[in-house]
Each structure stands twice: as structure tokens, then as C-alpha cells.
Chain A
Amino acid sequence: MKIDVPALSLVVLVGASGSGKSTFARQHFLATEVISSDFCRGLVSDDENDQAATKDAFEVLNFIAGKRLAAGRLTVIDATNVQPDARKELVNLAREYDVLPVAIVLDPPERVCIERTEQRADRQFGAKVITRQRSQLKRGLRSLKREGFRTVHVLNSVDEIDAVSIERTRLFNDLKDRTGPFDIIGDVHGCRPELEQLLTDLGYTITRDATGRPIDAVHQDRRAVFVGDLVDRGPDTPGVLRLVMGMVANGNAYCVPGNHEDKLLRALRGKNVKISHGLETTLEQLALEPQEFRDEVETFIDGLISHYVFDGGKLVVSHAGLVERMHGRASGRVRSFCLYGETTGETDEFGLPVRYPWANDYRGRAMVVYGHTPTPEPEWINNTICLDTGCVFGGSLTALRYPERELVSVKAAEEYYAPAKPLHVATAPSREPDVLELTDVTGRRVIETATHGRLSVRAEQAGAALEVMSRFAIDPRFLLYLPPTMSPVATSPEPGLLEHPRQAFETYRAQGVTELVCEEKHMGSRAVVLLTRDDDVAEKRFGVAGRGAIHTRTGRSFFDADLTDELLLRLRRVASDAGIFEELDTSWLLFDAELLPWSAKAEDLLRNQYAAVGAAARTSLPAATAALRSAVDAGLDMGELLASMERRTTNAAKFTEAYRRYCWPTDGLDGVRLAPFQVLASEGATYQDRPHAWHLDVADRMVAKGPELITQTRRLFVDADNWDAGIAWWEELTGAGGEGQGEGEGKGEGEGMVVKPAANLTRTGKGLAQPGLKVRGREYLRLIYGPDYTDPANFTRLRDRNLGHKRSLALREYALGLESLDRAARGEPLWRIHECVFAVLALESEPVDPRL
């Protein structure tokens, strides 16, 4: 005998002790799929037969079964289950996880059970117990279906039990092997003319019967999927049904039922339903059709499956949407959700039920496509989309092309039915998209990145980031990216220098990367700029009013709202004039830049930290020097201290020179400059694979169109044969050419340079290459390591710096940044982007030597 068991189900074995349940389970199921009450008794009491442990054992059993079912794994319960109460608990468990409960009853003759039990040394109880169990079983046998088991299999003899073969059947909703492409079509509601037009627009060829009525539509490689609500309200429900039924029958379409089909079915079956909401139209129209057709409709609707899971689980179609835990599940509850959705129990001012915004909370990977709620424009919410654009109410009929994610729609020829509330009124309460939840960011998190594998963020790091993100960062809908930290080069062995380009070149060469670019390191603040092409883009694409954002490495806005908008407007003009939006075919653009001067953002820091050091040094060192000179003149042996004080006076002056280079007066935006150096993302595209030459060319074009605002990033391309040119250029940039203690100012005043693989994103045998290594100038480093860092005694100690942690951090943040860009460009849900952005900030709270 063959027993069909749904691939995801809770199989409950029922039978007295000695009926052969464990043997049966072993034969037909994986050892890990079977949870036996005896085993659980053993777990909690060290004795599989300790009846006193039964209560605890079943709690453990239920817990394990629940975990398995939540994870979507078939589970077999090996316990006697002869009492209705025990079975009821299991049926409830199956319901809780929306899986089908299946009962397999093993009921061999009593003597078989008794014999087997007596053969077992560990079983103390006698025949009486078995007799009692069997009589309990017999009493409950007839009511098993009523108890909630979907299918019940009863095996009455040893032969029958031995002859069983178990076949695992796929659930009806499981169409994971169908990969499409699909055209998913929203609520039709009897609008046959619009449906014909839409199918034609989508490239389907319509087949008609002798009287010209459409009975099928074929596309050579695409299939249609209907989200339900084919019927009611519209002008030709029978025509729509005839066409869709034909398509489904011929394998050209799939269809899930809507609440209107459900109600129609009950009406066709003569059930007492309220004839309203357009059902009256359908019944009138169907009355004109032959009984035969009405029977076909009844059979068709009855056979519809609540929802489908397509394409390896990446696409779910249901009429009213579906929460993730119900994907691919089967239960009355799932069916009800699919047909009606979830309501809050409230009604709105039009008397319609308020729908629970399940999509706001949706965090699943599968795309969920549905209809049910008329909206003026389909909108993506967390990878879900509602395609009901109210065709029958005079809106339009919309299809989503999958996997292209393109929308195709046909305007309704007329308003066929007056809506209960005006279509242009957004669903009540008005949509609050992209709601972020605390659980999207807190706790220990693991993020899968395309470039660097799985990266984890510790809970404490997330805690620090939560405060900064909440208190200081801009709206997360504008915060698509945070730049990674960058590692300095390995410490230079050259005397008097902590950093030197040679180490950067050597590091890359050792990884087989020889084509490099040296980019000038600007003396400003890192800025990420989100630019929009015109004023309605931000609202439409990101759901936030404004023109975009200019933010810092931790997501703060550089300027107040007015200045930000003004600067964005100027930048938009420059980018437009340079043809960048056009070239990248995008309405928005995200790029990486340096905002100058540093004092524009960090004036407080410059004043309170750097200038203060200079002021204190300027006042105290001369006084100390003068006192020492008097002491030396008076014959005290303090010459060495005097010399040291004089050296420190020089160092302090150099320090002051170093910070002064970062300060120039700005007033509002006057004096502010931007140096773009890398394009990060635009609609549907990221640019980490384009060589830096391309990025710098884009930047140069902006310089050409807006020289008063945009500063060029100077650069030099080097390869393994011309390191010397790179070194000379760095020396020129930083004034490190003339070596020697206490010599005057060098020519260059620059901060230093960044060495990057010219090809941009580079993978080596050992994984990702560092996206860049900074080589800072000797004078700039005074600001980092202190005015006197060049003193030999200090220098020796400073050389000993640990770069490992910084480098690992730089790579992890880089990969997270790229991941957030990819997700943003693909139009993924906000929480998916935000988790990466947040993770970068969390990693930044790591305690790493801040001077690196």
C-alpha cells in the first residue's frame, strides 16, 4: 500500500505500545525526522520508561517539533497518541505552523503488541496496559478526521504495515521548479477588453472560438499568473473566466483565487451569501450562460490553490499577499490570509475594513506579488507589490513582468463600477513605507556580502551605532552608503618617515596587483553625495521630500536643510551639464567625494584641539626656553634641556603650519568646494568594477562644468616599472623631498595620497585586495601623532604599530559598503540597505588605534 505524505507535514503515528511505530518510523523516515516520546523521556530523566517524566518529555517533544516545523521540515511524532488530548495538542501544533497534520494508525492484533512488549526487557507493564490503549484507540478512530487530521491512514495487520511504502508528495502550492519568466496580472474583475489588450501588449497571441470569444492566449516563452478577483463588477466576467480557464487548462497561465471567486463559488453552490460588491453583476451575466459553463466555472474555482511559490522560492503570488511564515504552507489560516489578508478589526471612514499593513513588516527574501487592495500606483514595499490598480473602477489593469520587475498597464476604457471610496485616496491610513524595526539592526548580526562572504557585527557594536544613527544621522531613506575606513601603508623603514609610497607599491605587488593609481588625498572631510536629477525624484524614488543628501562618514548632514538643498542644486546643474545623468541613464546618482575645507565641518575641532595646542605651545615654550637660557647663563648644566625645548618650539610651529592649511574662511556655501573621486551607484547600477580612470574622468567632466565648485583630484598612474615616478610625485605633494631635521618648509603642502588598484575592485588569490592604502605626508602626520612625533625617541616607539586589525576592518567595511550599494541599486527594501549601512557604522565603533 502506498501512502502519500505531503513533503511538509506533521506525521502523527498512532498505536498502542508494541504496535511497531518505532520500527515503522525507522523504515520510512530519516532518524532526525522522527521525535519519539521515549527518547524525550530519556532526555529529561535518563530513563526512557520513566512515566513520571511524561509531562516534561512532551514539552520537550513539542518544542523540538515546533522548531522543525517553523523551519519547514517534515516531522514525525512517534508516541502512542491513543488519547484524544494528546492528538489535539499535535493538531494544534500543526495549525500553529500551518502544516498539514497526517495520522498513520498502526493497529495490528492485540497479541502481536503484547508479544512484542513482553520480548523487551525494559518494558515492565503488562498486557492490561496494551488492552487499555487499544480500546482508547478504537474509540477515537472514527473521529480522527474531525479532530483535524487532513488524512488518516489505518493499517490493521502486520502484513499491511510491512507492505506500506511512503511517497512524499509536493504541496500543490509548490511550483518552485517553474522559473518563468512570468507576467503577473492584477485584479481583472470582469474587464475582458482591457485583459485582451494587456495580454496583447505583453506579446500573447489570443485564440478565439468560432463565435470570436477568446478562449486562450499563448506566449512562446512566458506564462501568465493571475492574482485572483477575475470576477464581479465588470462588464464581462464570463468572458474573462472563459479566457483564463482556457489559459490555465492549456498550461499557459496559473491562477490563484481571490475573495470574489471564493464568494462566487459559495453562491454557485447555493450557499447563502450576500449578493453585493458586484456579485450581482456576475450572477446576472452567468445566468445567460449554459449550465455546463457554470459547472465548469465551479470546478475551476474549486480547484484553485491558495497561493503559489515559484522559481526556487524567489516568487510568491497570492491574492491578498502573504506573510513569510506562511509561504508554501497549507492550512485554513493560510488560505484565509491569501484570500482576505489580515485586517486590524477597525473600519475606515468609508466603512471598509482597515487592512493590517503586513508588507511593512515583511522581511522575507521572496518577492510577494498580490492584488486585492486598489491603489492608484503600484509601489514596492519591502520586496512586495500590489498590482490592483482598480481597472474596474476606471483605473488601469497592471501586469508585472518577472523577473524583469517591469510594470505594464492598460488604462480602463471607462469606470465600470463606482468604488466605495475614491481610487485616488491612498489606502487608509496612508502608506508608511520602509518602516525600520529595531530588530533590523540590533543584536548580533550576520550579513552575507557578495564580495567578502558572511560578516558579523557584535551586539555591543550595534548598540553604539544605534545611538549615533538615531541621534545624528539623516533619514535612512537617503542614507544608502557609508564609506569604509582606510588602512595606511605598512610602516616605512626609512629614517624619519612613518609612511612612504614604496610600501604601498610593494604590498600590492606582493598580491600580484601592478597597475596602480595614486590619487591626491584632499585636505577636507569625506562626503557622500546623493544627487537627484530633478525635484520630484527624491519623493518618488526614495519616498522622502528633498533633493538628496550630503553626509559625513557617520551619516550626519554636513549642512542645514537650506544649505544642503542649495548645494545639491548647484551640484545637480554641474552633473547635468556634464551629461552624467544621461550617460548613466539614471534619475539619481550617489558619489564619493571630499568636501573642502576641513574647517567647514570641523572648525570646532580645529579650534579646540589643534589651534589650542598651538596657542598653548606658543605661550609656554618661549617662557620655558627663556628660563632655561637664564639658568644656562647662570652656569647650570641644562644645555640639553634647552636644546630640546628649542626643537620643540620648531615642532610646534610646524604643527601650527600643518593645521592652518586646512582652514580657510567659509560663509554659508561660499568657499566650500567638493572633490568627487568615485561614482558609487545610480538606478540599477554600481561602479566598483569600472576602472578609476573612468571615475576620475567623470569627476574631471564635473570640474570642467563647475570649476568654481568642483576641485580636481590629481592623480598619477603607475605600474611596476615606474614606482620612482610615484614616489617623486608623493614627495612633491607632501614636501617630503628635502629631508633633514628642522629644515624649512617643503614645497608641497598636501596631506598625502591614496594608492589604489587602477582596475578598482580587485580580487586576489587571497581574497579582496585593499581598495586603497593611504600614504600620508610627514608634516600632516604631526596632526595625528603630535607635534614632536619626529623626535627620535618618539619615532622609535611609534614605528611599532599594529595594522592587522585596521586592515581587516577596512576590508569588512568595504565589502559591507559595496553590498549596500548593490542593494540600493537593485531597489531592494530599505531594511536590507540599512542593515549594511548600520553595520559599517557599528564596525566603526571598534576600538582601533585612531591614528591609523
Chain B
Amino acid sequence: MFLTLGTDLTGIDAPASDFGFLLHKNPARPQLIEVTGGSAHVFYPEATDERCTAAVLLEIDPIGLVRSGRGKAAEGFTLGEYVNDRPYAASSLLAVALAKLFRTAMNGRCDARPELAARAIPLEIHVPALPCWGGSDLAERLFAPLGWTVDARPVPLDPQIPAWGDSRYVDLRLTGVLRLADALNHLYVMLPVLDDAKHYWVGSDEVDKLVRAGEGWLGAHPEKELISRRYLAHRRYLADAALERLAEVDGVELADESSDEGSVSLAVERRGVVAGVLRELGARRVADIGCGEGALVGELLKDPMIGELIATDVSARALIGAKRRLHYDDLPDRQRDRLRFLQSSVTYSDERLAGLDAVVLMEVIEHVDPPRLPALAHSVFRAAHPAAIVITTPNSEYNALFPSLPAGNYRHPDHRFEWTRPEFETWSHEVATRYNYSVEFRPVGPPDPALGPPTQLALFRREDAR
């Protein structure tokens, strides 16, 4: 919520206070404007011929922020939206305020001192509480390529509880010789990128604006992928709200659902193998249980052999996502008739799934707590009782070969377990015997001679259906 921009205009034949012209703000007159979520003050703690520093102080009104424009939906908010760091940290809100305060300067215009606006000047920027996901190192990686000397010091989370270590904030000082307009644009883009928070209050149109501000320098930036990914990710559906509230009731947070499995090619290969197994089985009526965002569903729809496809997930939000992804509502009637989306759960019996040719649980079982696996087995093998069942799950032996995965970690934060090949095979044989199925195993992905394939697949067939 606070930052300063200063200069001494060393080596330039102008008094430092000319900085005021560049910013279009009079050092003698503090200014106050209303911005999203609060009010922004611009004032000069110092403005002499030797040194001129402008300060931007954004006063956030957290109560007003939640109430504004939300109507009665405001009741549905989570506590995190009332008590948070927005009033203190330099977030996307501050970036938006900067854009509003210094619109002209950001465009590089200065009718009073055009030559000063066009040239690089020595600048010093101080952001005392900058949320910086990725640590001070990331601040360095983002600003240094743009010509800044970066001094980012981590802020301890709580000096009285040293065990908690550093917070996600850094006390950031940038020094460099740059055009003021460039400096402002850098801040405008980088503040929200470093913040990387849930953008509760930033609409999609704001995102477009941010991308525009990167013109001219973002394209050449070595971290441009990270910068753009952070914009586009983390935009959550509103349907999350109920889930977040329930998590909050317990005092826990919802884990971010991103996978550490490395390349996308494994996921593609997995879908291909599963689709191949279904073709080999000649399955016409199929359910994809735990369909998630519907990647496999999209693959299976291409197969004309499959006449009826049921996609289920326990998450209503995932189903909405899958429908959107597959343009379900725009499909021709005949296509849509083949596909049904159902909210269901593997720990409850669901008679709507009874009697199919094949049921797929692709990367599902590892999201179920081990004590609940018997309930899963019952609901799939006994209640649904399909002719064939395809289950895939990570092979934990292979984890050693993922460079980015620290030893002992799971590939996904929501995984409750990851099995070695013998572990998966033992479980599969037990279940197969209990429910009178046969089972065989197949590799998915290029196998390592010692550690096996990255993903393991079990194909169960009902004994009487063979």
C-alpha cells in the first residue's frame, strides 16, 4: 500500500524537484484520488533541488472493498476476504492506483520537460512490503533483466516466532538509470505478478490492461512465460466460494491444485493408453469417474465406438469446467446425447453407474484417503459392477526421475498416497479376488529399466464377462 519513487537527477542539468513535472504532481500540494477499494495519496516527503521523493500511500478500505458492488453475495465471502494483507502490502491494487495516478507519466509524456521524460534518469524505488511469491530471488530475476539493481530483503513472518521463518514479503529497493515511464510500467506489471494472489477484486478487463503495459519489454524478458502464466492462472471460479468457506470453518486452506508431474506429454500419453485399452475392450458404454476438467472425456468422444459416455466428478466446479472446456452446451444434439455429466462420489454407491461396459478411474484413487479405499472398491466393483475397470495411478518408484520433485514429496499436493508397483499390484489383486475380477497390469509412459513406467495401469475384467 506504500511505495516511494525518488531521484537526485545526478548528472542531469536540472534540479531534482523537476521530478514533480515528470510525475505531473506538484510537490507542494498533496493529492488525493479515489481508486478501486480505497483512496490514494501522492505526496513528497522531500522535494529539494538535491533530492526529490514522491510517495504513494494507498489506503484500502477492506470493509468497503467487500461490500462494493457485490450486493447480497457479500454474505458468501470467506473470512480471508475481510482480514488480509491488502491494506498493507503492495499488491495489484497499488498497481491499479499507480496507473490512475500517473497515467500520463506512464505514457512517457511531459509537456513541461519533454527531454527529461524521454531520457533515462537515476531512479530509486522503495516498496517496503512487497508480496513476493518465489522469494527475493524471484524479484531479482524479474527486475534485473530490465536494468535494475535489486536489493530485496525478506521480512520475517513474526520476530517473536522465529521458527516460522520469513514471510512472503520482501522489503524491495530498486536502483537504476531508466526512463520514468518504463519504471512505472515495470512496477505496474510486476507488482501483481510478484503478488500472485487470488485476484478477488481484479476483473478480466484489468488483466488485459496489464498485458498491454508490457508492450516493448515483456517480449524480450527471460521470465516472460512465468510473468504471463501468473496473470492467467489463479483466476478462480466463483463456485469455489462454498468450498473455501467449508475449509475455513476448519481453519485450513484449500491447496492449490497444480501438479508437479513435469511434462504434459505424460498426461497425453496416459489418455492415449486408456483410450486404447477401451478400444481393445470394445467398450460401448463407458464412465470416466473423476473426470476433472474432462481431458479424457474429450479424447473418448472422438471414438465413434463409444455410444454412451458418463463423466463424473465429486466436484461440481470441475464439472462446470469440463462442460465449458468441451463446449458441451454447443455440441450438436446427437453428440450431446452420447455424453452425460454427473456429480458423484467414489465413496458412495451410485446406481446411475451400474452395468456399464467399462469404468475408468484415471489418476483418481491416489486422491482418496487409504482408509476410504474399501468404500471406493465397493462402489466401483460391487455397485457399478462393470464388465471392465481401468485404473491408473502414479508409480512412486519413478518419482526419483522427476528433477523438480523433492524426494519424499508427492506429485500433487492433494495426493494421499503414491504406490510402488508392488503396492499397487497387491491392492489390485486383493480387490480383484474379492469382487471376482481378473487383473493385468500395463505400463504407461516410457519405462525406466529399474524404476518402471511413470504411471501404472491395472485392467480388471469381470470373470463372468470374459
Contact = CB atoms under 8 A, between A and B. Distances in A.
A621 interface: yes
Contacts of B164: 607, 611
A615 B158 contact: yes
A602 interface: yes
A609 B158 CA distance: 12
B426 interface: no
Contacts of A844: 245-246, 249
Interface string A773-795: 00000000001111110000010
Listed residue (A470, A556, A601, A616) with the most chain B CB atoms within 10 angstroms of its CB:
A616
A626 B57 CA distance: 12
A665 B161 CA distance: 9
B231 interface: no
A797 B65 CA distance: 13
A552 interface: yes
B174 to A, nearest CB: 15
Contacts of B155: 615-616, 618-619
A470 B348 contact: yes
B169 interface: yes
Given A601-B252, A616-B169, A660 B41 contact: no
Nearest to A434: B375
Interface string B64-77: 00000000011111
Listed residue (B84, B160, B242) with the most chain A CB atoms within 10 angstroms of its CB:
B242
A251 interface: no
B345 interface: yes
B171 interface: yes
Contacts of B85: 612-613, 616-617
B156 A615 contact: yes
Nearest to B372: A475
A471 interface: yes
B343 A463 contact: yes
Nearest to B53: A627
Contacts of B187: none
Given A470-B314, A851-B82, A612 B250 contact: no
Contacts of A656: 158
B241 interface: yes
B246 A850 contact: no
B242 A435 contact: no
B343 A786 contact: no
Contacts of A608: 253
B232 interface: no
A786 B167 contact: no
A432 B378 contact: yes
A620 interface: yes
Contacts of A468: 243, 246-247
Provide the main secondary structure of the chain B interface.
mixed
B161 A660 contact: yes
Given A612-B168, A613-B84, A615-B169, A845 B79 contact: no
B250 A525 contact: yes
B382 A432 contact: yes
Contact of B128 (A432, A440, A623, A786): A623
A553 B2 CA distance: 39
B216 to A, nearest CB: 30
Interface stretch (A65-73, A114-122, A630-638): A630-638
A627 B4 contact: yes
B290 to A, nearest CB: 10
B171 A619 contact: yes
A226 B84 CA distance: 69
B45 A553 contact: no
A613 B316 contact: no
A794 B64 CA distance: 9
B464 interface: yes
Contacts of B367: 471
B382 A620 contact: no
Given A615-B167, A619-B128, A848 B75 contact: yes
Nearest to A544: B371
Given A620-B2, A850-B77, A471 B314 contact: yes
Contacts of A841: 246
B115 to A, nearest CB: 28
A138 interface: no
A616 B85 CA distance: 7
B315 A467 contact: yes
Contacts of A561: 371
Interface string B297-328: 00000000000000000111000000000000
Contacts of A794: 63
A795 to B, nearest CB: 10
B82 to A, nearest CB: 6
A436 B349 contact: yes
A619 B169 contact: yes
Interface string A636-662: 111001000000000010001000100
B83 A556 contact: no
A441 interface: yes
A475 B246 contact: no
A227 interface: no
Contact of A665 (B77, B78, B163): B163
B81 to A, nearest CB: 8
Contact of B347 (A436, A612, A665): A436
A841 B160 CA distance: 37
A850 B250 contact: no
A466 B343 contact: yes
Contacts of B253: 604-605, 608
Contacts of B131: 616
B129 A616 contact: yes
B129 A620 contact: yes
Nearest to B73: A847
A598 interface: yes
A438 B43 contact: no
B344 interface: yes
Given A438-B348, A623-B2, A634 B46 contact: yes
B69 to A, nearest CB: 16
A637 B30 contact: yes
A665 B249 CA distance: 22
A554 B167 contact: no
Given A845-B242, A847-B245, A620 B78 contact: no
Given A525-B251, A605-B251, A613-B83, A463 B316 contact: yes
Interface in B74-130: 74-80, 82-85, 87-90, 126, 128-129
A849 interface: yes
Nearest to B371: A475
Interface in A459-482: 460, 463-471, 474-475
A553 B249 contact: yes
B128 A850 contact: no
A624 interface: yes
Contacts of A626: 45
Listed residue (B83, B243, B369) with the most chain A CB atoms within 10 angstroms of its CB:
B83
A351 to B, nearest CB: 15
B296 interface: no
Given A619-B129, A656-B158, A844-B249, A798 B84 contact: no
Interface of A: 346, 429, 432, 435-442, 460, 463-471, 474-475, 525, 552-554, 556, 561, 598, 601-602, 604-605, 607-624, 626-628, 630-631, 634, 636-638, 641, 652, 656, 660, 663, 665, 783-788, 794, 797-798, 802, 805, 841, 844-845, 847-851
5 contacts: A438-B350, A460-B316, A471-B414, A553-B250, A627-B57
Given A627-B57, A631-B43, A845-B246, 5 more contacts: A435-B349, A598-B251, A613-B84, A627-B4, A851-B82
The 10 closest A-B pairs by CB, nearest first: A847-B76, A602-B251, A616-B88, A630-B45, A620-B129, A623-B128, A615-B167, A470-B345, A464-B242, A627-B45
Interface of B: 1-2, 4, 28, 30, 41, 43-47, 53, 55, 57, 62-63, 73-80, 82-85, 87-90, 126, 128-129, 131, 155-158, 160-161, 163-164, 167-169, 171, 241-243, 245-253, 314-316, 343-352, 367, 369, 371-372, 375, 378, 382-383, 414, 434-436, 464
